[in-house]
Amino acid sequence: MNFKKASRQKIIDGYLQDSGRNLFIAGEFIDWLEGQPDHDAYPWFFGQDDAEAARQHRIGLARRMASGLRIVVTDSADTASVVQVSVREYPAYLSPVSGRKGGGGYQRMDPEDQAMLDELRAQGATALRGWLKRYRSAFADVADLAPIEQIVSFVDDVTESA
């Protein structure tokens, strides 16, 4: 259950008015809400049993712990007597843009999944596009930005043809 900002503001204002407080303290709000099962916000906080709420909390903690970490994949190709090894780093988890509006979340990054690689590339192109927009002027006279522009263009072309 997701409340829009205006609804959340109304809930907090109602709590402050009912409690006579002029300061929001989360623990006191939960104690106050626990005694009001008919309140609109009650299912949001008490709509599941404590064991499931604790599990969901732990899952959230695990997601925050893994956020920003990398996984390292080592590929090796054995051709005759020459072994070629390449090491690539990927994020451990990826949040697909298409699922974010509906609450999405993170998915384990699978470098073998072409859809995941496409999503990672699209997010990378978005980040590079933002970087170019912000820093192009600062680097234009000291570095060749054409390779970065080519990467963004390549991902855009692939995305449009898909």
* pLDDT(1) > 60: no
The whole-model pTM stands at: 0.48
Q: How far is CA 15 from CA 3, 10, 23, 87, in A?
A: 15, 9, 10, 55
Domain boundaries, the chain: 5-47, 113-162
Per DSSP, what are the bridge partners of residue 85? 76
Q: Angle 146-161/114-139 helices, nearest 10 degrees?
A: 150
Average pLDDT over residues 141-157: 89
Higher pLDDT, 161 or 64: 64
Higher pLDDT, 43 or 69: 43
Tokens of 86: 């390449």
Question: What would the pLDDT profile of 23-37 be if each residue is shown by its tens digit?
Answer: 888 899 999 999 999
Question: What would the pLDDT profile of 106-133 be if each residue is shown by its tens digit?
Answer: 888 888 899 999 999 999 999 999 999 9
CA count, 13 A, side-chain hemisphere, 117: 7
Name the one residue in this structure whose structure tokens are 């997701």.
2
* CA distance linking residue 133 with residue 157, whole number of Å: 19
Average pLDDT over residues 33-46: 90
Q: If 0-12 CB within 10 Å is exposed, 13-18 middle and 19+ buried, where does residue 41 land?
A: buried
* pLDDT(8) > 90: no
* CA distance linking residue 78 with residue 66, whole number of Å: 33
